[in-house]
Amino acid sequence: MIVPRLVAWADERLGTRSFVKHALRKAFPDHWSFMLGESALYALIVLIATGIYLAFAFNPSGERGPYHGPYVPLQGTTVSGAYASVLQISFVLPGGLLFRQVHHWAAVLFVAAILIHMTRVFLTGAFRRPRELNWMVGFSLLLLGLFEGFSGYSMPDDELSGTGLRIGYSIAAATPFIGKWAAAFLTGGAFDSPQTTGRLYALHCILGPALLLGAIALHMLILWRQKHTQFRGPGATEANVIGAPMWPNYAIVSLAFGSLIATLLVALGAFVQINPIWQYGPYHPWQVAAPAQPDWYLGWLDGALRIFPPVEINLAGYHIESALLAGAVVPGIAIGLFLFWPFVERAFTHDGAVHNLLDDPFGVPQRTGIAAATFTFFAVLTFAGSNDIQSYYLHVPVDVLTVAYRVLVFVLPLLAYLATVELLRERTSWPPAENEGSRKTIVRTTSGGFDEKATRS
């Protein structure tokens, strides 16, 4: 009784009925790869839900004092308020460790889900006109995800993340002209200033989520306005969208998908340990955690720093170091290239037409080849980011690995590109055309042997 009356009440004042009716009838293309973007969305929902709980208990204070808590080896040790509060969350707060681990796993998964979704969009050419803008919004979401990840990883003020923060600070400080100020903005003064965690807290919990949610709203709004792309198929044209209506078909499937992601994340948080900061200890600038690595999504940056040769350039009185070249110039080029990819590609293809129908990834060897090369390039850099651990477990000298990665980072992407292009070219020219006269007819003779009959043309 109450629901229809409430609906009528709202409809009378806001005119919602026609919108909702319209929205519920919206068609979703029924191809499984269109659900990959949603996995990032559901991971974000888990991130926000767990993040709010953690924010209640987190203390973004750089003030140091003795630790009094249940973790025995740190009792009485001087730690920052931030570090102590994360220990408190992990060991004392009911469900705290579970929430923390789910939050961290969701963050790690969030970036991976964005990348998988982006790969689909890239391979099928969904970014082409008219969707260039939404590609750029989506790419900004990836960058925001990386930023949120790095700031969140750094907030507990533990030995491992402090080492990472110091690298970030050094890259910023190595920038000519604005280095000092950029670095000071990040940490609120000289390195390891007590204000650092407060800054990170504001960036991670207020600015970051605001930008992230705003960008997601924009992403969805543009999607809604422009409608989905779709694969070629019976009845599919540039001017329509064929698929399941949002209600009830697609919504139910999507909810099932969201439940699975939430389940996976909670299961990971419950059963697989992530970022045990108590083992790394509180951060001191004169100590280094080993093995020191960032979370996987910044591993490529660490890898670039590890294998970049130690060069220094003097440019108009400014010192350009390898830290800047590897840590800012390489990622700057990569980010710039892919942020503006729709325009970069158009410059080569001169294809300015509107595309609502997707490309078959197997049918566009060049683009798929570039995707393979990019993936390989970043994979090599990511693996280079843990060369010390590979050296330890594989018993290969770390210097050998470094040199090998310096070669592989150029060779493997090139090979991946050439191999992909060549394979896809062969695939498109197969099976060979019928009128080539290559067909033979084999006839069995009465004596049991085989004979080739005249060639059919």
Report the site for another protein in 141-200 (rule: CB under 8 A). 159-160
The binder of another protein chosen from 36, 41, 155, 304 (CB under 8 A): 36
250 near another protein (CB under 8 A): yes
- Give 108 or 203: the residue with its C-beta nearer to another protein: 108
Residue 414, sorted as left (phi over 0), alpha (psi -120 to 50) or beta, turns out to be alpha
Distance of closest approach, residue 380 Cβ to another protein, in angstroms? 14
Helices (H), 314-439: 322-324, 330-339, 341-349, 365-384, 387-394, 398-428
Q: What are the DSSP calls for 73-89, one per residue? A: GGTT-EEEHHHHHHHHH
Q: Which of 249, 334, 412, 415 binds another protein (CB under 8 A)?
A: 249
**Which one of 291, 352, 437, 449 is in contact with another protein (CB under 8 A)?**
291
Tokens of 150: 């790095």
Q: Is the dihedral of CA 124, 126, 129, 133 positive or negative?
A: negative
Give yes or no for residue 392 binding another protein (CB under 8 A): yes
Per rule CB under 8 A, is residue 203 in the interface with another protein? Answer: no
Of 240 and 455, CB closest to another protein: 240
Q: Which is nearer to another protein, 26 or 129 (CB)?
A: 26
Of residues 218 and 244, the one with the C-beta less far from another protein: 244
Name which position in 182, 247, 391, 404 contacts another protein (CB under 8 A).
391
What lies within 8 Å, CB to CB, of 291 at 6+ separation is: 386, 388, 389
Q: Exposure of 402 by Cβ count < 10 A (0-12 exposed, 13-18 middle, 19+ buried)?
A: middle
Does 245 engage in binding with another protein (CB under 8 A)? Answer: yes
| Binds another protein (CB under 8 A): choice among 16, 71, 189, 222 | 71
Nearest CB to another protein, comparing residues 241 and 335? 241
Contacting another protein (CB under 8 A), which of 268, 324, 371, 373? Answer: 268
- Is residue 25 near another protein by the rule CB under 8 A? yes
**Is 95 one of the binding residues for another protein (CB under 8 A)?**
no
For another protein, the closer CB: 27 or 216: 27
* Residue matched to tokens 């391979």: 123
- Do 301 and 328 touch, CB atoms closer than 8 A? no
269 to 288: interface string for another protein, x by CB under 8 A: -xxxxxxx-xxxx--x-xxx
38-57 positions binding another protein, by CB under 8 A:
39
- Distance, CA of 433 to chain centre: 42
- Only one of the segments 178-186, 196-204, 233-241, 417-425 lies at the binding site for another protein (rule: CB under 8 A); that segment is 233-241
Q: How far is CA 171 from the centre of its chain?
A: 21
Backbone angles phi, psi at 319, to 5 degrees: -95, 120
Under the binding rule (CB under 8 A), the answer on residue 234 touching another protein is: yes
> Which of 96, 365 has the CB closer to another protein?
96
Q: Is residue 70 classed as helix, strand or coil in its secondary structure?
A: coil
User: Does residue number 227 form part of the binding site for another protein (CB under 8 A)?
Assistant: yes
Given 136, 182, 253, 329, the residue binding another protein (CB under 8 A): 253
User: What's the CA gap between 355 and 164, in Å, rounded?
Assistant: 43
**Which residue reads 């208990």 in tokens?**
57
Q: Which positions from 99 to 128 touch another protein by CB under 8 A, shown as an x/- string?
A: --x---x--xx--xx--x------------
Among 167, 168, 147, 158, which Cα is nearest to 197's?
158
Residue 354, CA atoms < 13 Å, CB-side half-sphere: 8
Tell me how far apart the terminal alpha carbons of the chain are, to the nearest angstrom.
76
Residue choice 240, 428, 441, 455 for contact with another protein (CB under 8 A): 240
Which residue(s) pair with 79 in the sheet?
A: 65
Q: Which is nearer to another protein, 183 or 265 (CB)?
A: 265
User: Within 410-449, which residues bind another protein (CB under 8 A)?
Assistant: none
Residues 322-381 that bind another protein (CB under 8 A): none
| Amino acid in the structure at residue 364 | V
